Amino acid sequence: MQNIMKPHKLASYLGIFLFYIILLYSQALAFTPLKKDKFIYFQDEFYTIKDNDTLTDLAVKFKVGYEALLLANPGVDPWVPTPGTKIIIPKKILIPPDFILNKKTYILINLPEMRLYYFDRGNFMTFPIGIGDEGKLTPLGTYYIARKKEKPFWFPPPSIRAEDPDLPEVVPPGPDNPMGEYALYLDRGLYTIHGTNKPYSIGRRTTHGCFRLYPEEIKFLYYKVSLKTPVYVIYEPYKVALEGNILYLQAFPDIEKRIKNPFPYIIKKIEKLIPEGFTYRIDLLTVDKILENPDGLVHKIGILKRLE
């Protein structure tokens, strides 16, 4: 006799399966508590390249930004990496003191880093993002979440339709909608924090000023973020922090060439961190090397010393 699973048992097993999928998903996207005098979070991971791997696929697999993965692994061919090569999956982040504002809940977007931070009552989450292409970067400043929409329609603005006249005036929800399944609309301009139908675009400059997130991450953020939440768009390629007696630097390319003299710019940041009665010593060669080739990794660059 053929063994056929009864419908109610099948539904029960499916329910248990979905429960554990949701549980794992929520754990993967859990908040991290901010700790006093702590500015370095998470650890970089490592992966050994296998046959048919590409850095594009690995960025999506590990939910990191594509450009961040390239920066962390200079010299690795993104399309045909050599099997057996050990690469860095950049997960460690530096949250400088000036990112931690005197507000309960807010979003902070750092354009050169291509990363969004969501701070909520002493905890935070952070996601890689796609940002505006050259000449289309979002203006810096303070915004607010004005409205939220599940399964948004996309109304291509005139600038985009001028580039692609075949675009319809309205793109309904579905696989052809570049906004994905969820959207958080900002209060001015046509700027939106949304999902994407092209996960490979995360961590790149591919938008007209909006911010793209991986589909599962915008879904999580969509249900967490309230209306009127402030959104701060900043431009900070050089993040500096003092943790314990160690000075750290995390540097990204100055994508818009806005900081003409990065070394004195960083020194000014360091000096604001030094407590009274102390001085510091930095490794000039290390800093110079980082500035010559910013890799997005967290580096020790100096130490705190007590004045004698």
Catalytic residues: 194, 210
Q: Tokens for 176, please give them.
A: 């052809």
82 DSSP assignment? P
The residues, any chain, with a CB within 8 Å of residue 183's CB and separated by 6 or more, are 148, 149, 152, 192, 193, 194, 195, 218, 222
Residue 286 class from Cβ within 10 Å (0-12 exposed, 13-18 middle, 19+ buried)? middle
| Structure letter (DSSP) for residue 249 | E
Nearest-angstrom CA–CA distance, 149 and 223: 11
Q: What tokens appear for 47 in the block?
A: 């992966």
d(CA 33, CA 41) in angstroms, rounded, equals 10
Distance in angstroms (rounded) separating the CA atoms of residues 205 and 215:
17
Structure tokens at 25: 């998903």
Nearest to 62 by CA among 128, 123, 119, 111: 128
